[in-house]
Amino acid sequence: MPTPPEQSQDGPGLDADLAPEADHGASTYRGSGRLAGRKAIITGGDSGIGRAVAIAFAREGADLVLSYLPEEQEDAEAVAALVREAGRTVVLAPGDVADEAYSRSLVRTALDELGGLDTLAIVAGRQQFVEDIADLTSESFDQTFRTNVHALFWLVQEAVPHLPKGSSIITTSSIQAYQPAPILVDYATTKAAINTISKALAQQLAPKGIRVNVVAPGPIWTPLQTAGGQPPSALPEFGEQTPYGRAGQPAELAPAYVYLASQESGYVSGETLNVNGGMPTP
């Protein structure tokens, strides 16, 4: 990838406005029926990592409900076109996951429109850097927790009664869970919480035949980073701190989600799969 210029976007940011463009695997990912007939909800499925997951899941044979914010309709429609090209069903369900009623409603949408639900890929996340704790408002702190942690709880609680044996829940943590940046106090803390809630739920849901696993990305080139996730001045060097010396691309995350969704990982639960350019983790 060429060195990204300094840039910033308002709101959740759009893949359509990211420079240079990110790679979501649209021209490279080949499916082999590993998720044939599966029915998945992907939150944050419009852009970045969630977009790469949507492309891969569809090419592996899954039908999808995509959750994203209404401002991201343009990105979501680009993903929907790729899912339909793969011959799969896609339902676009915009809304705010920090709103409990909306988060819960995604399960009903999947049951009604896909005829069932067996896979949750919880990828949506909020990351807003704040240099000084004096400037971290209660509203912002609360919104980060509601988006990253509460939404996961609501979605899983609503889904579990409907999930058949063999279902898979995949959550999204971060290298920030173990190496918190001083400017990401709230975000990093939610990512540690996601690891912990996932490991607790993995044990609780094992008797029901539901697996719960986590993907923990390192620095990945997505709109999150340009829409308040990092200071714009940090973007040209984004990812250089990793042993690989570069940021990852969303396409490099999708196979981890496919593995954890598919029966290939049928004896794996409570695991965190780190995809981070070689940074050591606990």
- Give the residue numbers marked as catalytic: 187
Among 168, 189, 198, 222, binds ligand NAD (CB under 6 A): 222
Angle of helix 48-59 relative to helix 73-85, nearest 10 degrees, comes to 20
Stretch near ligand NAD under the rule CB under 6 A, chosen from 57-65, 152-160, 215-223, 262-270:
215-223
Among 58, 91, 121, 127, binds ligand NAD (CB under 6 A): 127
| Touching Mg ion, residues 46-105 (CB under 5 A) | 46-47, 72
The reply to whether 4 sits near ligand NAD by the rule CB under 6 A is no
The contacts of residue 197 (CB under 8 Å, 6+ apart) are 149, 152, 153, 171
Cβ(170)–Cβ(214) below 8 Å? yes
| Residue carrying the six token digits 């939610």 | 190
The reply to whether 124 sits near ligand NAD by the rule CB under 6 A is yes
Stretch near ligand NAD under the rule CB under 6 A, chosen from 32-40, 44-52, 206-214, 265-273:
44-52
Site track 11-50 with Mg ion (rule: CB under 5 A), x = hit: -----------------------------------xx---
Instruction: Report what 167 binds from ligand NAD, Mg ion, none; CB cut-off 5-8 Å by kind.
Output: none
| Residue carrying the six token digits 């995509």 | 66
Closest distance of CB 95 from ligand NAD, Å: 6
SS (H, E, C) 126-148: CCCCCCCHHHCCHHHHHHHHHHH
Instruction: Report what 174 binds from ligand NAD, Mg ion, none; CB cut-off 5-8 Å by kind.
Output: ligand NAD
Q: What is the DSSP letter of 21?
A: P
The partner residues of 120 in beta bridges, in order of sequence, read 41, 169
Instruction: Report what 126 binds from Mg ion, ligand NAD, none; CB cut-off 5-8 Å by kind.
Output: ligand NAD
CA distances from 238 to 154, 244, 260 (A): 33, 12, 27
Cβ contacts of 230-233, under 8 Å, gap ≥ 24: 230/129, 231/129, 231/183, 232/6, 232/7, 232/8, 233/6
Instruction: Report what 147 binds from ligand NAD, Mg ion, none; CB cut-off 5-8 Å by kind.
Output: ligand NAD
Instruction: Report what 97 binds from Mg ion, ligand NAD, none; CB cut-off 5-8 Å by kind.
Output: ligand NAD
Among 64, 83, 220, 273, binds ligand NAD (CB under 6 A): 220
| Touching ligand NAD, residues 153-212 (CB under 6 A) | 172, 174
Give all strands (DSSP E) within the chain, no chain letters. Answer: 39-43, 63-68, 90-94, 119-122, 168-172, 211-217, 272-275
The reply to whether 269 sits near ligand NAD by the rule CB under 6 A is no
The reply to whether 158 sits near Mg ion by the rule CB under 5 A is no
Neighbours of 15 (CB within 10 A): 20
Rounded Cα distance, 196 and 178, in Å: 12
Among 31, 46, 106, 155, binds ligand NAD (CB under 6 A): 46
Among 31, 125, 228, 277, binds ligand NAD (CB under 6 A): 125
Which tokens is 209 given?
Answer: 């035949």
Q: Contact residues for Mg ion (CB under 5 A)?
A: 46-47, 72
Q: Contact residues for ligand NAD (CB under 6 A)?
A: 12-13, 44, 46-50, 67-69, 72, 96-98, 123-127, 147, 172, 174, 217, 219-220, 222-225
